[in-house]
Amino acid sequence: MKALELDGVHAGYGRTRVLRGVDLAVPEGATVALLGANGAGKTTLLRAAAGLLPVSAGTVRLAGRTAPAGADARARAGLCLVPEGRGVFPRLTVEDNVALFAGGRRRREAAFDRVAAVFPVLGQRRRQVAGTMSGGQQQMLAFSRALCTDAAVVLADELSFGLAPIVLDELFEAVAGLRRDGRSVLVVEQFVDRVLGLADWIYVLHQGTVTFVGEPAQLTDGSVFERYLGSGRQ
């Protein structure tokens, strides 16, 4: 059973085609890492999967069924995208952010407890305005979106974006926690080594098409990096 499937997906911005027939599957309970050079279409793929960007051809399926149109409907259908950059409401407090992620004030307390268990630092900043926190804390709050809902599929776009490596441990631990909970995860990441330890499957995207699918072990000899990602191994 596939939690998320992209089948021959084409998408782009106006006449600029970015995705040219992408096939991708996230098995239930698995973590998949999506790698690729800048401009390969990784973020576009996540946006198309989340329904933020209409696909011009192909289908997106959630748990075997065609995903509903519109990002809000897809979110309600159990898909959660943690977008690139700081995916928080900067002028709202941490608890208001959590209430929005959780889908209402009624579910706020339970959701907040879950968040505080994974990111203790957020537990102490309950009433702080999100935009005034450090970048790392904001990214934790952004990722909390995945903890606040029971979304079966979590898409995370460059969690490490602009963060110091030391902050990343907590975030990647949280991604691993999702996997232990049996959730299906698709991560886009620049820090290739860190994802290799995390992922069950690796996809490499190049100029809008998938050029490599395999297990992390296949990548360790470095030849795939040479071929698909250049030598800039981090």
Decide whether 100 or 213 has the Cβ nearer to other proteins. 100
Token pair in block for residue 143: 């990722």
Footprint of other proteins on this chain (CB under 8 A)? Answer: 13-16, 37-40, 50, 52, 70-73, 75-76, 80-81, 83, 87-92, 96, 99-101, 103-105, 145, 149, 192, 206-207, 225, 227-234
Decide whether 91 or 173 has the Cβ nearer to other proteins. 91
Decide whether 27 or 216 has the Cβ nearer to other proteins. 216
Cβ 84 to other proteins shortest distance, Å: 11
The pairing of strands 184-188 and 31-36 is parallel
Cβ 202 to other proteins shortest distance, Å: 14
Q: What angle do CA 109, 111, 117 make, to 5 degrees?
A: 100
Cα 45 to Cα 209: distance, rounded to the nearest angstrom: 10
- Number of Cβ within 10 Å of residue 166's Cβ equals 8
Decide whether 17 or 180 has the Cβ nearer to other proteins. 17
Cβ 185 to other proteins shortest distance, Å: 16
Cα 94 to Cα 61: distance, rounded to the nearest angstrom: 32
At 234, the amino acid letter reads: Q
